[in-house]
Amino acid sequence: SAVISQKPSRDICQRGTSLTIQCQVDSQVTMMFWYRQQPGQSLTLIATANQGSEATYESGFVIDKFPISRPNLTFSTLTVSNMSPEDSSIYLCSVEDRVEISNYGYTFGSGTRLTVV
């Protein structure tokens, strides 16, 4: 199955600043997905990142707040911009894994635990 390296694993940031989260996959993948998990909540899809095109954002998420880059088929970044305490969450990247999970599932990165103070 795909292996995803996500960093940083955690960070504490000042409000008003920005943080860029990186995900590196050990194989080429068409789509990468970015999720947010607010404290005590389930996962919410932020956007889908395709190589060579603009990311597709879900309702409630905008590019100015969560710009995404996808420069190649193994790498993506998510930036959380102009942070406020409400952005304190775990952010996870994922890829569709067609090797181990019966062709239909997802593998996740290890997550970035962000605290905004």
Partner 1 sequence: AQKITQTQPGMFVQEKEAVTLDCTYDTSDPSYGLFWYKQPSSGEMIFLIYQGSYDQQNATEGRYSLNFQKARKSANLVISASQLGDSAMYFCAMRDLQTGNQFYFGTGTSLTVIP
Binding site for partner 1 (CB under 8 A): 9, 31, 33, 37, 41-43, 45, 48, 90, 92, 94, 96, 100-102, 104-113
User: At its nearest, how many Å lie between partner 1 and the CB of residue 57?
Assistant: 14
d(CA 69, CA 11): 20
CB of 2 to partner 1, least distance (A): 11
> Is 49 exposed, middle or buried, given 0-12, 13-18 or 19+ CB atoms closer than 10 A?
buried
What tokens appear for 39 in the block? 């404290």
Contact 35, 46 (CB under 8 A): yes
> Considering beta carbons, is residue 50 or 81 the nearer one to partner 1?
50
The distance of closest approach from Cβ of residue 16 to partner 1 in the complex, given in angstroms and rounded to an integer, is 24
